Chain A
Amino acid sequence: MVEHLQADGEEPCVTLDAFLEQSNATAVRLESDEDARALIPYLDRLKLIEVAFPKFRDGRGYSSARILREAGYTGELRAQGDVLVDQIGYMKRCGFDSFAPEKDLNPADVEAALSRWPEHYQAAADGAVPIWKLRHG
């Protein structure tokens, strides 16, 4: 079983395969090629789902995040890996609420990236009201 050690006091994430075999864990790591829907029966029990971004160009994790939020997952959803400041806004819209970038990000840049867009054209997983709804009330 591969463990990914996290911050102090945090339960380490188990792999999806390990989780499905011994599902008393509350933290699981989803690789970019793994099916987020496999976790849907267990979402109530999970406190942390870590989604891997092995390369920033690998955008599968965005769909994984939305699928988990659309299925009602309310725990921590973490983007881990090649997470760059210019992707963070999209990640947040897809439902990520924590970030574990391999390379440290400048907090001021993160703040600027997250506050740049006052509104959004489309509905996603962050609860933002899409522009078409703002237009029509």
Chain B
Amino acid sequence: MYKYDEYDQQMVDARVAEFADQVKRRLAGEITEDQFKPLRLMNGLYLQLHAYMLRVAVPYGTLDGRQMRMLAHIARKYDRDYGHFTTRQNIQYNWIKLEDAPAILADLASVEMHAIQTSGNCIRNISSDQWAGAAADELTDPRPWAELLRQWSSFHPEFSYLPRKFKIAVIAAEEDRAAMRLHDIGIQIVEKDGVHGAAFYVGGGMGRTPMIAPLIKDFVPLDDLLSYTEACLRVYNRYGRRDNIYKARIKILIHELGADEYRRQVEEEFAHVKSLGIDPPKAEYDRIAAQFAMPSLDLSASDEIDRTDPDFAVWVDQNVAAHKVPGHAIVNISLKPLGGIPGDASSAQIDLMADLAEKFSHDELRVTHAQNIVLPHVRKADLFAIWQALDAADLATPNLDLISDIIACPGLDYCSLANARSIPVAQKIAQRFSDPARQRDLGELKLKISGCINACGHHHAGHIGILGVDRKGTENYQLLLGGSGAEDVSLGTITGPGFDEDGIVDAIERVTDKYLAERTDGERFVDTYRRVGMAPFKEAIYG
């Protein structure tokens, strides 16, 4: 994986010094909270309901054991002994003191990490496929391009005061594991006539106006990738709406202009931008790509797995995925134990995952947008030892992509924007469907919960989505069906009137019962929904 050189290190060190100075000025009262706010936001520091929240970037979700251990250290030393992995492959700490923030950033910089641009109206952390470099189905590793974009977008002088935040995802497989088309820019590395290029999807997003990004360009030569991105951003920076925060994302600009007119403007800008020489030479791509080379795997490793232990076998079937190298596998660690908070991990659990990465996964881990952790390069012969260690730490829940593998935002328990709690709803649903055999019978069922219309919990993209709203001072939950953030991307539809906290759990059970009654062999929930439509489900829910 990518290692900082002296230039990268100097950038994060300068940022630590800058922020330490800004915090000092704030604590001394030299600048007001209003003036300080945009500065702390550029460093991932939010003021939440109870305390400051610090969001640490995990670029494209990739980190090593040493970095993971530092995340545990921060949880232990500066927070309440846990951290929360997010849908943008980052980690958040919910109980941070402002005066500790500079020391935390310095600790992060010592392991090549930072909180740069994890908030604010700038280009945020670049996200990617959590199985990049390991997936059996990928065309190439998308992360070198994500790293090039990370460097290009860090402290970008023209694009640090955009109309609104800006999220970019890069993938290189047909199966979309990063919700690519629900990003401001989704880039898919594709192949045409034996040559790789980039398909640009621009103007997707969730929030209060969910949109699926239209294809703006089917094949951008990779030598032009940064220029083309710069052209996309410049058109947005100049013409994106600034009169209304709710209409300021690029999806609204593209919706209002139309994809064709936006494309025309980008092409015109690109013709100019390309002449500026902002694209690094191939040597820079090669320098970065060399650092993402596949680790030296044991090519003689056995492809057999001893499935004698029935609980282990269940976990293998549910949480282990195909690796591109025989004898190896991708381990998905669920952060969704029964009764837990989706995405939370204690410092002890984080340390354990770091240990396992160092011992069994060539010192590499990934954070997924579904708030789980991945060990990407594991020998099949080591799976049992890994499972035993995970199981002892309550990290072996075999529920990947099942109904209890819930994405949930922090909700009203933490967030100052939320209208309703998400975590207790997630816990009640997991409890209702706690029988593992029942979950497996229901099959792939992506359930996503947001505590307000900002949609941090991706409810529009859930096979089943839940949106918490405030109705005359009480929490109310709307139910959506039929969304997807994968390659079959779609937006969910609201079933009808909302429910209270217990009512939403009952409604979901009526929906899953209806699915079991309607499904044909091998049909996932979302396939059945697409085939039979909303009406039968609506009748099952409301009578």
Q: Taking beta carbons and an 8 Å cutoff, which residues of A are in contact with B? A: 56-60, 62-63, 66, 70, 84, 86-87, 89-91, 93-94, 112, 116-124, 130-136
Chain B residue at minimal CB-CB distance from A133: B280
Which residues from chain B contact A112 at a C-beta distance below 8 Å? 21
Residues of A within 8 A of B157 (CB): 62, 89-91, 93-94, 120, 122, 124
Does A131 lie within 8 Å of B162, measured CB to CB? no
- Supply 14 further A-B pairs (C-beta < 8 A) apart from A86-B39, A117-B14: A59-B237, A60-B242, A70-B276, A90-B158, A117-B155, A119-B7, A120-B157, A121-B152, A122-B156, A132-B151, A132-B281, A134-B7, A135-B287, A136-B280
Query: Is the Cβ of B162 less than 8 Å from the Cβ of A59?
Result: yes
Q: Which residues in A have their C-beta under 8 angstroms from that of B162?
A: 59
Instruction: Provide the main secondary structure of the chain B interface.
Output: helix
Q: For the complex, count residues of B whose C-beta is within 8 A of A.
A: 38
- Chain B residues in 8 Å Cβ range of A117: 11, 14, 155
Q: Is B246 an interface residue (CB 8 A)?
A: no
**Inter-subunit contact B14/A116 (CB<8 Å):** yes
A selection of 24 A-B contacts at a CB cut-off of 8 Å is A56-B38, A57-B242, A59-B159, A59-B160, A62-B157, A63-B234, A63-B238, A70-B276, A86-B22, A86-B39, A91-B157, A116-B17, A121-B151, A121-B156, A122-B278, A123-B277, A123-B278, A124-B157, A124-B158, A130-B278, A132-B151, A135-B284, A135-B287, A136-B287
How many angstroms between the C-alpha atoms of A58 and B240 in the bound complex?
Answer: 11
Assess whether B283 is interfacial by the CB under 8 Å rule: yes
- B35 an interface residue at 8 Å Cβ cutoff? yes
Instruction: Point out residues on B near A: beta carbons under 8 Å.
Output: 5, 7, 10-11, 14, 17-18, 21-22, 35, 38-39, 121, 151-152, 154-163, 234, 237-238, 242, 272, 276-278, 280-281, 283-284, 287
Assuming the contacts A117-B14, A119-B7, A131-B151, asked whether A66 and B158 have C-beta atoms less than 8 A apart, the reply is yes
A63 to B237, CA, bound (A): 7
Q: A91 vs B155: C-alpha distance in the bound complex, in angstroms? A: 12
Known A87-B161, A116-B17: A60·B237 in contact at CB below 8 Å: yes
B152 touches A122 (CB 8 A): yes
Q: Give bound CA distance, A124 to B157, whole Å.
A: 8
Q: Which residues of the other chain, B, contact A131 by a CB distance below 8 angstroms?
A: 7, 151
A118 → chain B closest CB, angstroms: 6
Q: How many residue pairs bridge A and B at CB < 8 Å?
A: 96
A70 CA / B11 CA spacing, docked (Å) = 26
Q: How far is the CB of B283 from chain A (nearest CB, A)?
A: 5
Give the residues in chain B near A62, CB-CB below 8 Å: 157-161, 237
In this complex, the member of B10, B154, B156, B272 whose beta carbon has the largest number of chain A beta carbons within 10 angstroms is B156
CB of B355 to closest CB in A, whole Å: 34
A47 CB to nearest chain B CB (Å): 24
A66, A117, A132 interface centre (most CB from chain B within 10 Å): A132
Q: Closest CB-CB distance, A39 to chain B, in whole Å?
A: 14
Query: A119 touching B10 by the CB < 8 A rule?
Result: yes
CB distance from B2 to the nearest CB of A (A): 13
Chain A residue at minimal CB-CB distance from B122: A59
Is A132 touching B272 in the complex (CB atoms < 8 A)? no
Judge whether B161 and A58 touch: CB under 8 Å. Answer: yes
Scoring B7, B11, B21, B154 by chain A CB atoms within 10 A of each residue's CB, the highest score goes to B7
A57 contacts B38, C-beta separation under 8 Å? yes
A124 to B242, CA, bound (A): 24
Q: Shortest CB–CB separation between residue A91 and chain B, in angstroms?
A: 8
Bound form: Cα–Cα A133–B287 in Å = 12
- Which of A56, A70, A84, A122 neighbours the largest number of chain B CB atoms within 10 Å of its CB? A122
